[in-house]
Amino acid sequence: MAKSKRTDLGTPIARYYLQQLRWRDLLTVFFPLTIVVLAPLGYGLWRTLYGYSSFGPAAASSWGRTWFLVSGFLVLPLLFYTLNRFKKVHTWIEVFAWGLLLHYPPSRKRLLNWEDIQGITSYSVNKSFFRIINKTRHYLILHSRRYPPLPCHPDLHDREGLKKTIKKQVYNRLKPRLIKAFQGGEIIPFGEISITKQKLRLPKQELPWEFVEGISVQKGIFVIKLSAEKQIEMPIRKIQNIEILIHLIKTEI
C-alpha cells in the first residue's frame, strides 16, 4: 500500500494498545511522583534561604546542597519511567477492513494489507523463576513480502482477540491458495518445514509420506511420529501457518 495519511486509511474496526494514558493516571501516578521529586528541592530552597538570612552565604551554599542532589537524583528514575510510559502508550495496532496499521515508537508505522501477510508464527513461552514467578508470554509474528518479520508485542491489550482476528482474515485468503498450489504439485513452505504431495521436507532431511505415521503439537513442539519408538520434534516458533500445515497433512495426504 502506498504511503497514506492517517485520515485516508478509513475508520479502524478495533484498536489494540499496550497501555493507555488517562487523566486519572496523571492524578494518581505522575502527580505524586512529581511531588516526591520536588519535595527535596523545596526543602533545599528553604534551607538555603534560612541559612543565608541567618548565617550568611557560606551557610546558604552548603545547607541546601544535599537536598538539591537528592532531588536531582530522583529526577532520573522519573524521567526514565515517563519515557517508558509514553513508549507503551504509543505502541498499538489498528485493525481495518483492508488490513493492519502497526505503530511502534519511535515513529515506526507499518501498513499491511491482509494479502501482504504470507505467514503467521504463533507460540507461547513459559518463564519461571524458582517456581515463585511463573508467567506465560504469548508471541505473534507476522511475515510479509514488504517488511522483515513483525512481532506483535506480547503484552498488547486483548492480544488473544487480536490473534483471532488476524488469523481469520489471513487464513481465509491464504488457505484456498495454498491448498490449490499443493494439489497442483508445488512446494509449500511453512517456515523451516516444506511439504509436497510426495514428501515432508525438513532442514536436514526429506521424508516420504509413507514413513510418517502421525503428527501432533505438544507443549509448543511440533511432533512428527515416524514409528513407535522414533519421532522428530521442532519448536512451533520455527513454523509458519501451523494450522494450515496440519490441515493439509490431515486432509490432503
pLDDT band per the 50, 70, 90 thresholds, residue 129: low
pLDDT tens digits, one per residue of 213-240: 889 998 889 999 987 678 999 999 999 9
Give me the chain's average pLDDT, please: 87
- Residue (of 41, 33, 38) closest to 65 by Cα position: 41
Q: Residue 220 — left, alpha, or beta (φ > 0 → left; ψ -120 to 50 → alpha)?
A: left
On whether the CB atoms of residues 179 and 249 are closer than 8 A, the answer is no
Would strands 117-129 and 214-218 be described as parallel, antiparallel, or unpaired?
A: unpaired
Is the same domain home to 108 and 158? yes
How is residue 229 written as a grid cell?
519408538
**pTM confidence score:** 0.80
Boundary (domain end) residue, out of 47, 73, 89: 89
Range with the poorest average pLDDT among 7-11, 66-70, 227-231? 7-11
Residue at 42: amino acid letter:
G
Specify if 110 maps to a domain: yes
The CA R_g of the chain, rounded to the nearest whole Å, is 28
Is the same domain home to 66 and 132? no
Is the same domain home to 60 and 28? yes
Domain carrying residue 239: 187-252
pLDDT tens digits, one per residue of 143-179: 998 889 999 988 888 888 999 999 999 999 999 999 9
